[in-house]
Chain A
């Protein structure tokens, strides 16, 4: 009897062992997680899916779509309550449109050290809609200036630059200096060009335009007035600040490699990584790409700086340019990084939020940061502090510059948030159309901006000026108008 009982008990214990390892136990649960085509972001979700499966015994199925199809796919599925997705990976600009269909983060999720470790710009502004946490940042994003130490620190270049422009060669702090740098390094006979920015319609061009415009329109005394007047919801995009930005953005074509009108953000990265340009404006991906794929000549040369600022900012209230003694930096959180949301129609809410917690946990996210092509960039205080985590990619100096520029951008008092408004695509569609006309020289910049402003005002009226104003104020952190 005993002989039989002991092996049976052992078998029972063995059978129970996997169940005990599941914490919490999501055996039999399959989460459908969807985002853009990999490897960027999707590979990070797959990696987190593997560790989540080991911990909880659930399974994760990552479904990928081309970026251009994400918005219609997600919105159609959620608005029709199909329950197709348990977790979606999307961008903050879509949050106003998605928020009505997303579940609010459980209270347990928004407490504790891990929660406080997320930078408040993400935690308190980009992840919140109408007072509720509707999405969770899994990738921190902002536009930055990527530079090259091999050029900046070359004594001959330094001497020649100072002789020509009358000030030392260093990371440009204003857009005027940025122009000088771009001009100085534009040497087609050497195969070197000053800078690389994206200009192609559909190639994320408008974020590059916004990054410049923030410096001339994000007035520190008039918070939230960059895109619209936060009192009336009148479009501001045709004011002199935006005009200056568009004219300078167009003029910089001269210092880009030939054919730059065809370049999207995906083209800008290899131009910097491969050494065709002296600098570029991009998200944090360019620095990693140069460090990992740039070859021996690129070793140790990645330098990153906050976007240039301006000493003049357009004041839409007084209708005049205001001058400042110091350069005002308005680093632009272009795109704002990828976020995760749990659709309200998901039938696996608990497991879905547990998976989200896995993806953004300090351990899993730190590993993703330094995994090639994960597309994940820092967004936690611990990410910015841990330069050692980057030792496989960057030298100590590179890591300090790379992380320092990102942290400084987020900490900047006049940081500029991206446009987030219901009907985002309606607003940006006309923007892209008119921008591409102006860049191709088919219309004058002012005419293009006037056309955008007219259409933005018409859309605002069509969608409801009061509701759009309330949404806009919420998106820029202003209290509702009483």
Chain B
């Protein structure tokens, strides 16, 4: 009995410090931020904090700028992740089937992923310059007019999607290639013996078997995509106007330019809520799809 009590004490002695550490490092700031989100807290100009209830959240939900940034974020994320998945999967298939020079491509395709997004955005700013950039040179050579890539809403969003696709398709390729290499060879050999066409082998065997992995890869990219800020910050600054402003950039401007901490905390929790809701719906739909296909 006393030995049991003593063991309990030892367990507690080991558990409590870790628990308190986690509480202090991760939970306390989260709870503090939640409390601040119900207050009006401004560092500039310094105003005394006051409790405002759900006013910050109400203001966010009534703000056209918030909904605009939601729309921009969703557009960039959904378009770029869809393209990343299709291209990434296609590249993985090509590499898996050992196209000539596959090992060279394998390294080359991965390079964009290792670059700092800020550096990529700076290079992109030069490439898509309306008059000095090579993309516009190509357009001119082909007989098209100059496109103001970075100062018109539509083209600017297209450029941001392009950069995201260019930089993060390798991530999808890497994971899908790993998935392809882990598939059992016997199934594909049997399909070949039965003279099943490559297209049917893909749709009826490869794709369903890789669907759970695909769901996970797309989910990771969607969550990451929602956090896009650096490329937008450097490339367009959210402009023209707020036409390319993402949710994270909006929160950054409120927090670190205007020091409107109450509103920024509320924005962060709204953002978290949006991601959780979106993620839950996505996973529920994906689970249903996986069940149906497999």
Contact = CB atoms under 8 A, between A and B. Distances in A.
A442 B241 contact: yes
A201 B239 contact: yes
Contact of B241 (A76, A100, A434): A434
Per DSSP, chain A at the interface is helix
B142 interface: no
B241 A423 contact: no
A426 interface: yes
B175 to A, nearest CB: 34
B151 A262 contact: yes
Contact of A72 (B148, B243, B259): B259
Chain B: interface secondary structure?
loop
Contacts of B294: none
A422 B239 contact: no
B148 A433 contact: no
A264 to B, nearest CB: 10
Interface in B112-135: 125, 129-132
Contacts of B45: 96-97, 422-423, 463-464, 467-468
Interface in A171-191: none
A439 B256 CA distance: 26
B151 A261 contact: yes
Given A422-B44, A463-B47, A429 B237 contact: no
A442 B45 CA distance: 32
A437 interface: yes
B201 interface: no
B257 A72 contact: yes
A259 B129 contact: yes
A262 B129 contact: yes
Interface in A456-470: 463-464, 467-468
A261 B46 CA distance: 35
A160 interface: no
A17 B240 CA distance: 63
Interface in A109-151: none
Given A72-B256, A72-B259, A429-B257, A258 B47 contact: no
B75 interface: no
Contacts of A442: 153, 240-241, 243
Nearest to A69: B256
Contacts, number: 85
A442 B152 CA distance: 9
Contacts of A76: 43
B155 to A, nearest CB: 11
Interface in B205-250: 237-243
A261 B146 CA distance: 13
A173 B130 CA distance: 33
Interface string B182-205: 000000000000000000000000
A97 B256 CA distance: 14
A425 interface: yes
B181 to A, nearest CB: 43
Contacts of A200: 237
Interface in A398-441: 422-426, 429, 432-434, 436-437, 439-440
Interface in A55-88: 71-72, 75-76, 79
Interface string A230-272: 0000000000000000000000000001110110000000000
Contacts of A71: 257
A433 B132 CA distance: 25
B258 A436 contact: no
A258 B130 CA distance: 8
A202 interface: yes
Interface in A186-205: 200-202
B150 interface: yes
Nearest to A437: B241
Contact of A436 (B44, B129, B239, B260): B239
Contacts of B253: 429
B44 A440 contact: no
Interface string A322-364: 0000000000000000000000000000000000000000000
Contacts of A262: 125, 129-130, 150-151
Contacts of A258: 130-131, 146
Top 9 nearest A-B pairs (CB, nearest first) are A422-B45, A437-B241, A440-B240, A259-B131, A202-B237, A258-B131, A259-B130, A72-B256, A201-B239
Given A201-B238, A429-B257, A436-B151, 4 more contacts: A257-B131, A258-B130, A262-B125, A426-B260
